[in-house]
Amino acid sequence: MRKPRTFEDVIAKIERRIADDGLTVGDRLPGERQLAEELQVGRSSVREALRVLETLGVVSSQAGRGPDAGAVLTSRPESALADLLRLHLGTASLSLGEVISTRLMIEQWAVQHVDAPEGLEIMRAALEEMERASDARSFVDHDVTFHLGVALLSGNRLLAATMRALRQTIHAYSVAAVEAAGRTDVLMADHWRIYELVTARDGHGAAQAVADHLGHAYPSLAVPPSSDTPAP
């Protein structure tokens, strides 16, 4: 069986397609159905990847059919930045604690300084996919999307790129942790709580929920409680 592709894989393939085809700002990507067929993934995976790329400012989705179908390229993808961060994280012998502490700072800052509420759409869509996940890998794949959505709330694309690199670095560990736990109900409750508090614009409560969630997800680490996080 083909190994399930994460949404990062789909994003990487779309970015590669943009580069290989020499697309420039204003050019149109193939439609969602065509991309799904070319990449051999489900349309929901393509839709999820395009939603992230749109929030990052790489594409602009527009309704249409035939030659008018497909997202329009609005800027060149910054995949090189994420790749550079990922390479550094993979070779710097960083501890899991350092990675999680950085995630905590990014996510707490983002939920307390919401400037791009479209990140909520990504979080909500990821939650619905997580509810339907049939195995640990699928659950973690959509969990990654959820937390990228959290980072995107801030409107700061550098934070989002950093979060993407951080999550890719510990992806295998996250899958193993979910498999070992054998249940996802506590983590799902945490995710819904974060989403609901952000929706209610309760920044302090959402920051505490982020800390609580990371404490549940990584019980061997001493995750500090919430605080009014200064700018990262």
Domains detected in the chain: 7-73 (1.10.10.10), 79-217 (1.20.120.530)
Cα distance between residue 165 and residue 156, in whole Å: 15
Q: In DSSP terms, which residues pair with 73 in a beta bridge?
A: 59
Complete DSSP assignment for 77-146:
--HHHHHHHHHHHHHTT--HHHHHHHHHHHHHHHHHS---TTHHHHHHHHHHHHHH--SHHHHHHHHHHH
Answer whether 26's CB lies under 8 Å from 72's CB: yes
For the chain, 232 residues long, give each residue's pLDDT as a single digit of tens.
334 446 667 877 887 777 777 777 788 888 888 888 888 888 888 888 888 777 767 788 765 555 566 788 876 655 545 555 555 555 566 678 888 899 999 999 999 999 888 889 999 999 999 999 989 988 998 998 899 999 999 888 788 878 877 877 777 788 888 888 888 999 999 999 999 999 999 999 999 999 999 999 888 876 766 555 544 4
Instruction: Give, as one character, the DSSP assignment of residue 72.
Output: E
- With 0-12 / 13-18 / 19 or more C-beta atoms within 10 angstroms meaning exposed / middle / buried, residue 47 is middle
Q: What would the two tokens of residue 226 be?
A: 């919430």
Q: How many CA atoms lie within 13 A of 9 on its CB side?
A: 13
Instruction: Provide the terminal-to-terminal Cα distance of the chain, rounded to the nearest Å.
Output: 42
* pLDDT for the residue 150: 95
What confidence score (pLDDT) does residue 76 get?
Answer: 60
